[in-house]
């Protein structure tokens, strides 16, 4: 984003956050988008110099059957504009909104739906190329397995020649599962749990409830995946409130179901932790409480 400010009216390189499901890609990019939005509003005000509402960042998501018209309509809908008319009319309306409301970033989620050699994917690739050419914005894509699906590789087939342009215009980024094989990874995991712990609203929570007493347990239950971790904690908090327990501990969390992928993968991690072969605690002497 910062580097693209120097490109003036040239087509700006895009960024792609490409990673496995459940690692928090959309959460991270939306958090970045919100921070960027607030920064621009604080810096430049809620209105443009000519009096239009300032909308620095917009967010849209593709589906398996998103058409060019549907993409343009999604952009217009975000701005609160009419969505009637054909694809060209909606595109003109979207361009006018982007320019008049001083948008600088467009987040496009689930871009992996563009994969394949079908005609709709090619049309969508052309449309995104058009957006990059006419919008003075940075495009931020989010997807799953985008590189493996071929959207960034050149010369796959004549049908995919248009998709190959993404490889020259897009910088791939990724997110990895939390790992605890080294001290740096364990500290990062503890920082995450401390951050979550501060946000919990439970009457009997206490410092270290997650980051100390449930650190190993939560890692084995979530296998280091952010989405699985948050699902588990959200459901645990709901059970703690409804039962009047008002805190999270192993006995309560054992009653909470998690997603299928996490439950299927937890046994191996749990066995390694119980055998002393793996720990999530940094080498700082911090030990979990003994349950009553």
Q: Beta-carbon neighbour count of residue 51 at 10 Å?
A: 7
Which DSSP state fits 5?
A: G
Which of 82, 83, 151, 74 has the alpha carbon at shortest distance from 112? 151
Q: Please give the Cα distance from 133 to 176 (Å, whole number).
A: 32
What are the residues whose beta carbons fall under 8 Å from the beta carbon of 166, sequence distance 6 or more?
14, 16, 125, 151, 152
3-class DSSP state for residue 16? strand
3-class DSSP state for residue 142? strand
pLDDT in tens, the chain (292 residues): 888 877 666 778 889 999 888 888 998 999 999 999 999 999 999 999 999 999 999 999 988 777 888 888 999 999 999 999 998 899 899 989 999 999 999 999 988 877 555 556 667 777 777 787 888 889 999 988 877 666 665 445 545 555 556 667 788 898 888 889 889 999 999 999 999 999 999 999 999 999 999 999 999 999 889 989 999 999 999 999 999 999 999 999 999 999 888 888 888 888 888 888 888 988 755 566 655 4
**Longest Cα separation, the chain:** 67
Q: Please give the Cα distance from 256 to 261 (Å, whole number).
A: 15
Say if CB 1 and CB 138 are below 8 A apart: yes
User: What is the total residue count of the chain?
Assistant: 292
């Amino acid at each position: 984003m910062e580097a693209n400010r120097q490109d003036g009216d040239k087509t700006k390189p895009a960024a792609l956050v490409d990673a496995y499901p459940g690692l928090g890609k959309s959460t991270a990019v939306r958090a970045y988008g919100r921070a960027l939005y607030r920064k621009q509003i604080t810096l430049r005000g809620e209105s443009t110099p000519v009096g239009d509402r300032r909308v620095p960042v917009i967010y849209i998501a593709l589906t398996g059957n998103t058409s060019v018209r549907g993409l343009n309509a999604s952009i217009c809908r975000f701005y609160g504009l009419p969505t009637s008319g054909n694809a060209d009319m909606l595109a003109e309306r979207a361009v006018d909104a982007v320019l008049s409301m001083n948008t600088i970033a467009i987040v496009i989620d689930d871009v992996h739906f563009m994969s394949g050699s079908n005609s709709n994917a090619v049309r969508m690739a052309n449309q995104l190329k058009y957006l990059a050419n006419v919008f003075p914005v940075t495009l931020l894509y989010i997807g799953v397995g985008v590189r493996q699906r071929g959207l960034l590789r050149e010369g796959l087939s004549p049908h995919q020649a248009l998709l190959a342009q993404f490889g020259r215009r897009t910088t791939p980024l990724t997110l990895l599962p939390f790992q605890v094989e080294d001290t740096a990874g364990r500290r990062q995991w503890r920082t995450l749990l401390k951050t979550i712990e501060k946000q919990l609203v439970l009457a009997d929570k206490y410092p270290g409830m997650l980051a100390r007493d449930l650190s190993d347990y939560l890692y084995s239950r979530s296998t280091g995946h952010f989405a699985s971790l948050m699902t588990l904690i959200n459901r645990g908090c709901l059970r703690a409130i409804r039962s009047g327990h008002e805190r999270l501990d192993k006995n309560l969390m054992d009653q909470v179901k998690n997603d299928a992928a996490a439950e299927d993968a937890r046994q191996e991690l749990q066995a390694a932790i119980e055998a002393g072969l793996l720990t999530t605690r940094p080498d700082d002497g911090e030990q979990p409480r003994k349950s009553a």
